[in-house]
Structure 1
């Protein structure tokens, strides 16, 4: 069995089909007692050899059962296909990561790819659901990390309690700690700390955007891949602190009462998450919590005006990010379908809910005009299809394109854009949110989403080769794909990934033109958006 001496101690892994695998390596101290609400602490050294053959415990989950949302049949089938977290073992010692490597030669200096899972910052783990062995077979050292979720990770309350209790952005600080571990240790696993790429999907993509804009991420990675996410939501810390104060009050915790905060058990934390969501959705004043009130379909996000994130990501992208990184970003053609399926039809016609769902991109007074435009453009479609398309454009395509444009203007030749069109075999889902993960990993239970045919397997291989080539050289290229040109304000080159992929110029020009005309300054860099 392979054994590696890390800076914290020895770890013993396994060899599986020629790949060296080390699972459940701790990168920070356990989240026992007050540590659950504090920034991560560097892992102390251990004696002996740590058994790294099995996945470690997951961080506390706050998934769909906590949200108590309706799940129509198609959405339920989708979740069943990708749900790798049922019955997952949780534990306080969950700040761990996994490493897959084709070699233990320290001089190999292979490119490194660090996976950040999605799940609305409420669920997910670095478990068998995200087996990164396919990347290691492309001569990549692959890493998958875990981080705190739900209230322990994303309830921002700096200054409400003693010391650093309830410090802002704890979940993101966990990710920074994991990236620091990689910088210190990855060469021992054959990786090159100077060629690190962070990549993630959905909420993981949101994390990628924020890490690229954070001064704390400077020097920790060179490239970034954001899949099916966007640079939001984020809101000033003061807005978060007011929401935190009110939501904690709903579960019997007053600001300053550290004992009550530390006494919250798992059921109470689930109630706290619901209190946060209800506060946002039911506020008498739509602007009661500032930008949070209009940040869309995800209510966990980042606090700006903080050390981790001084400004919203797009504000930094437009002026040059603190981290000069290459960026590959894109969406699935039908990302919005998942979120439309999550709502009963009666809510489609509610202007209040509709406004909340589309992430603050449109002033309330423009909702009627927006719906009229989409209904006119889709004359044979019902309200549900219109709703799906608006969610898709407002919450995914437009924010992603704005990020591409902002990054390309500050970093010419370093921005690459794609749209994935490969559709699910489940009727009505199309190229749904998350299908890109099923294609990229190919080992997921989510493969049930995809056709099991040669064309789809070839697309999967091409997509993975393009992404690993990007990690290696900064250019996404793969046999069988057209030459992929970088994105810029003139050509707006988009690689449309499908069984027959093609590079398309200005694919979304009319869409951007409409939204810019309709929303004006509401599409500027300071506006929040949404993901899951």
Structure 2
């Protein structure tokens, strides 16, 4: 077994460890650098190649997470500035296995690859799993280049990290038993936005064999004007002027975390960390991005039935409280007043109507637009299992508890008392479908492809995976092309 645990990569040799799943075994290499540490003079630089190491590097423990705000999903874990690492889980059995590269959610402000344990897929499903950490918050996405007209600051540094990680996987995954020609990228929420970007990025689209998009739309991108305004807010919070911008390299990294908290208090209804349509790393506008050809690979995409409940019912723990007036402004900006009023009339002016409207606007409609534009076989799902915890229903992120062992550090108490046997059946069915998709580009015999003339939907529910018509998905379904900008 000891020989199995040492693998050679382009930067040097790594020693991993064996992990057990019931009667099965997997191998894990944790905290593997895919780029140089993005700190010091490299704080705002694009990701640079790692200098490598001599001898065999220990890869049996997770590396510190990248610096980020403390919240319920990231507390009590060590963090460090610019820790650009990934984690690999591989089947113990020799062979050439398909690869799943996972990008975590967290609104581009928090989260970690270590929260998604890949041993189950590796040991029981024959998949090599890679989870990625990249720069977050102002260190990953503040547009200081646009604010100061200074190209020493990388734009979309966090996304460039993710892109570099995918290239590292392509070059090195064979050492772990992975097939570099069968890489499926997957992500949830912000991670799903990343997958959408990678699908149309000329630097990455040819690396992909498949894509899984969970609860994340391209409407979460920021235009340059909004991005520069955000950067100005960060600069004010940091006490940095244009003349003194060199201080941004010498400020303690913790100051950037505090600046994010400050900006969130000032811009309390907005996403304050997200990729920028900058015209260089990414296109300059959403229509320009949509005009780019997507990789012609199989796509699995969907969202949860009650996504927006998380933001409405747990405002202090996730996002600030929102209301119908805000969604009305967003919808009017996207659709125009007469059309917006017609859409709003379909949704009751009550808490349930607010959840349904926000869910459709920011998740189902963008997802349908993605499917309609995709040039290859696509499969659509809706996660319908609901929790009684805070009366959240099938809220944003809940499907992760069925796909991963305790993702995001969430307690099983979210699921307690709601049919353990049914939950186990659904978890097994979902994990099997995801793995089946990674292996062959199809989630399984119970699934029917989506098409414009046959917009099939697979419902993920304890009763089983059932295919229904698009008419049962959302009240906004008839406006599938609508892409309202996130506030």
Q: TM-score, normalised by structure 1?
A: 0.81
1:490 to 453, 457, 465: 453
Aligned mates of 1:350, 1:436 — CA distance in 2: 26
Q: Please, which moves more after superposition, 257-266 or 135-144?
A: 257-266
Q: Residue 248 of structure 1 contacts residue 254 of structure 1 at CA under 8 Å; is this kept in 2?
A: yes
Cα distance change on mapping 1:453 and 1:49 into 2, 3 Å: same
Cα distance change on mapping 1:529 and 1:488 into 2, 3 Å: farther
Cα distance change on mapping 1:43 and 1:236 into 2, 3 Å: same
Cα distance change on mapping 1:59 and 1:348 into 2, 3 Å: closer
Aligned to 2:43: 36
SS at match of 1:458: helix
Confirm whether residue 399 of structure 1 aligns to residue 363 of structure 2.
no
Aligned mates of 1:347, 1:199 — CA distance in 2: 29
SS at match of 1:215: coil
Confirm whether residue 132 of structure 1 aligns to residue 135 of structure 2.
no
Cα deviations by residue, 1:182-216 (Å, 9 ceiling, x for unpaired): 01110010000010011111111111111112222
Superposition deviation, residue 258 in structure 1: 3.3
Aligned to 2:260: 273
1:92 to 52, 71, 81: 81
Superposition deviation, residue 459 in structure 1: 1.0
Cα distance change on mapping 1:364 and 1:271 into 2, 3 Å: farther
Superposition deviation, residue 454 in structure 1: 1.8
2:161 to 161, 174, 178: 174
Q: Residue 119 of structure 1 contacts residue 202 of structure 1 at CA under 8 Å; is this kept in 2?
A: yes
Aligned mates of 2:449, 2:126 — CA distance in 1: 24
Aligned to 2:414: 449
Aligned mates of 2:87, 2:16 — CA distance in 1: 10
C-alpha RMSD of matched pairs (Å): 2.8
Aligned mates of 1:209, 1:255 — CA distance in 2: 34
SS at match of 1:158: helix
Confirm whether residue 511 of structure 1 aligns to residue 478 of structure 2.
no
Aligned to 2:181: 194
Aligned to 2:384: 421
Confirm whether residue 240 of structure 1 aligns to residue 240 of structure 2.
no
Q: Residue 346 of structure 2 contacts residue 475 of structure 2 at CA under 8 Å; is this kept in 1?
A: no
Aligned mates of 2:332, 2:17 — CA distance in 1: 45
Q: Residue 308 of structure 2 contacts residue 355 of structure 2 at CA under 8 Å; is this kept in 1?
A: yes
Q: Residue 82 of structure 2 contacts residue 135 of structure 2 at CA under 8 Å; is this kept in 1?
A: no
Question: Which consecutive unaligned segments of at least 5 residues does structure 1 have?
Answer: 65-82, 282-295, 376-381
Confirm whether residue 115 of structure 1 aligns to residue 102 of structure 2.
yes
Aligned to 1:16: 19
Aligned mates of 2:242, 2:33 — CA distance in 1: 32
Aligned mates of 1:429, 1:243 — CA distance in 2: 31
Q: TM-score, normalised by structure 2?
A: 0.88
Cα distance change on mapping 1:420 and 1:175 into 2, 3 Å: same
Superposition deviation, residue 368 in structure 1: 5.9
Q: How many residues align?
A: 471
SS at match of 2:206: coil
Aligned to 2:299: 327
Superposition deviation, residue 307 in structure 1: 3.1
What is the 5 A alignment of 1:55-74?
Answer: 55-64=62-71
Q: Residue 8 of structure 1 contacts residue 43 of structure 1 at CA under 8 Å; is this kept in 2?
A: yes
Q: Residue 469 of structure 1 contacts residue 475 of structure 1 at CA under 8 Å; is this kept in 2?
A: yes
Superposition deviation, residue 5 in structure 1: 1.1
1:341 to 310, 313, 329: 313
